[in-house]
Structure 1
Amino acid sequence: MTIRFTGSFKDYQAHNPDARFTNWLAAKGEPYWTQATSHPFTQAIGDGTMPSEAYTRYLIEDYTFVTDLASTLGFLVAKAPGMRSKAKLSGFLALLTSEENDYFLRSFEALGVPAGTYEAAAQGPVTRAFSDVLLSASGEGSYADGLVCLLCAEWCYLSWGQREAAKPRPDQFYLAEWIDLHAVSGFETFVNWIRSEMDGIGPELSGPEQETLASLFRRMSRLETAFFEYAWTGKASNLL
């Protein structure tokens, strides 16, 4: 099991002189960070062994989450310190509400999920907790608070997406396209930008402010693991 680093960013730098602030966040997020990025659910997407009932469960929950993610991006656009940052976030918001939404609709059809089912679906407890953290951090917290939550969510998907993209694509288009959406260069560029943005902000904050960001990243990593676990097993997680 990957061991969590418990020290400050300065302590981490002392042991890892070339480390980025985001490396420290990931180390503080263990073991949940590794559990999320390597969860069996993500591996089953890549090798095509995903049970249809598990992926249906996942897609319905993720579909209910998209609106909250869009709201999170809206809060961050408003709080971003400069036009360049606003443009980056706005561009991702536009992608989320167009290409990704189309993917959901086609996938639901292929899996035989009626529109009435996913349109009327209520968020499960894991998704609700995940959304609550994102909306609270981005809406009520600082720009850095919201950004660190977005970083965890998108960096996690880039991590497993690039790993699974190295495999032959599964036959199911909804699995193959989900990998591609999270392994393409445009998504990598966006996640790397979030990392760079956080790497610039984080070191300038006070020690307590840095620890707040680390706590948010760790909480998000834990909930990401719980989200995959619920989709995979259909059972409530003890990680909430």
Structure 2
Amino acid sequence: MSYGRTFPLWRAAAGEHWTAYVEHTFVRRLGDGTLPRAAFLHYLVQDYVFLIHFARAWALAVTKAETLEELRHCAGTVNALVNEELSLHVGICAEAGIPEAALFAAEERPENLAYTRYVLDAGHSGDLLDLLAALAPCVLGYGEIGARLGREPHAETYGGWIGTYAGAEYQALCCEVGALIDGAAARRIGEAPEAAPRWEAVTGRFVRATRLEIGFWDMGLAP
């Protein structure tokens, strides 16, 4: 999936880190159904906590927006995270006897803490493009993972999770985020962003966030 013009450039710059992220053992075992249920639930609890901070980061993006279109997209993403994506985690965990109050109160693992605070710091210290570079590996990486697993033969064990990220609604969101990134890059560093002085620094944010995603999957395998 391309998800715009800027994302493929960032993806290519991440190189082996991107491959290690989207083809992680955790991801492969989600697809073939061999991931232990305890590991999946541990991941979901931590991902719930992650998404709370992720929603806060997108709320910060609202304050960084410079156009009405940017503002509307960022505000809409906050709504989608809080009122839609979190429901996936809440529903699966409820079936396992874990209430939402326990999810919200869960202790944040160090890997989670490092990632979420990195993203928030990118937003506080930079502009919208800096923040989007740190947010993109999660949004678009899950889109790529979901699309691939959805196309391949996969076990039904985690079909609900795969279906969410492979589904038309999430894939449309990824395309919208890709377009948002393209617009933010053009507006802030030019129509040929890869030639801009800031390009290397912004790309570095994307690569670091990708490496933190790898750490998040590693955490998922170590409940």
Normalised-by-shorter TM-score class: 0.7 to 0.9
Corresponding residue for 2:215? 226
**Structure 1, residues 114-142: CA drift from partner, whole Å, max 9, x if none?**
55643331111110011011111123311
Contact 1:37/1:160 (CA < 8 Å) preserved in 2? yes
| TM-score w.r.t. length of structure 2 | 0.86
Contact 2:135/2:209 (CA < 8 Å) preserved in 1? no
Unaligned runs of 5+ in 1: 1-18, 235-240
Contact 1:148/1:216 (CA < 8 Å) preserved in 2? yes
Corresponding residue for 1:72? 57
Corresponding residue for 1:190? 173
Q: 1:20 to 1:94 in 2, by over 3 A?
A: closer
Question: Deviation of residue 161 (structure 1)?
Answer: 0.4
Q: Percent identity?
A: 25
Corresponding residue for 2:96? 111
Q: Matches of residues 116-155 of structure 1 in structure 2 within 5 Å?
A: 117-155=102-140
Q: Matches of residues 95-110 of structure 1 in structure 2 within 5 Å?
A: 95-110=80-95
Match of 2:67 among 82, 95, 103: 82
Q: 1:30 to 1:53 in 2, by over 3 A?
A: same
Alpha-carbon distance between aligned partners in 2 of 1:120 and 1:77, rounded to the nearest angstrom: 26
Alpha-carbon distance between aligned partners in 2 of 1:51 and 1:169, rounded to the nearest angstrom: 15
Question: Deviation of residue 85 (structure 1)?
Answer: 1.9
The total of aligned residue pairs comes to: 214
Q: Which has the larger radius of gyration?
A: 1
Corresponding residue for 1:216? 205
Alpha-carbon distance between aligned partners in 2 of 1:166 and 1:73, rounded to the nearest angstrom: 29
Q: 1:177 to 1:92 in 2, by over 3 A?
A: farther
- Secondary structure in structure 1 of the residue aligned to 2:93: helix
Alpha-carbon distance between aligned partners in 1 of 2:156 and 2:65, rounded to the nearest angstrom: 41
Output the aligned Cα RMSD: 2.1
| TM-score w.r.t. length of structure 1 | 0.81
Question: Deviation of residue 44 (structure 1)?
Answer: 1.8
Which of structure 1's runs of 4+ aligned residues deviate more than 3 A?
A: 112-117, 167-172, 205-208
**Structure 1, residues 88-120: CA drift from partner, whole Å, max 9, x if none?**
222221121112222222211223335564333
